[in-house]
Amino acid sequence: MESGLIGATVLELGGNTSAVRSGEGATPAAKEFKLGVESLVQQCLLHQPPSPIELEHAIELTEDVVMPLASQFATSPLLVLQGMGAQVISKAIQAGGLVQTTLTLDMVESLFNRLVAVSAGRPASQESLPIDKCLFASLLILREFMHHLGFTQVTLQTSRDGPT
């Protein structure tokens, strides 16, 4: 684990798999799981934008994967998001005029709810976010991870050099 991430839980959202790691020293906890941004899109989010029923299915699938992680990884107060998911979210919020490296759970929830509104029929032109299936998947996985593991904020890290 990088020295700047000591004491943090790191969620790395990849394309087909993701990983979570936490702790330091001789016995850090780490787990790879078979859910990623692209795999969630391929399994659940078939329309552009995804339909409400597709989002519900994606939430159920994500909860089934994330909830068992809570007992092992809900101990650190700091969450860092890396990988494809961090890049997708960071790019989207920058396109919307925000330059944030740290998002609260309320901010993640608000971003996700804006996408849900588009899914339910709100014109995409009313949102300053790209309506991209990978953004839906990235925010959905992050949101469920934060909810079920009790994180109140996340730092987006799009490169190994530090937060962006």
Going residue by residue through the chain (164 aa), what tens digit of pLDDT does each one get?
444 566 789 999 999 999 999 876 556 789 999 999 999 999 999 999 999 999 999 999 999 999 999 988 866 778 999 999 999 999 999 887 777 799 999 999 999 999 999 999 998 888 878 889 999 999 999 999 999 999 999 999 987 544 43
Asked if residues 22 and 6 have their Cβ atoms less than 8 Å apart, the reply is no
In the prediction, which pLDDT does 107 show? 94
Q: Which pLDDT value is given to residue 126? A: 84
List, in order of start, the domains of the chain with CATH numbers.
3-156 (3.30.420.150)
What angle is formed at CA 118 by the lines to CA 50 and CA 37, rounded to 5 degrees? 40
- List the structure tokens of 49: 């934008």
- Give which of 159, 34, 156 is closest to 86, Cα–Cα: 156
Give me the pLDDT at residue 5, please.
64
Please give the pLDDT value at position 73.
83
CA–CA distance, 112 with 101 (Å, rounded to integer)? 17
**Contact of 30 with 101, CB cutoff 8 Å:** no
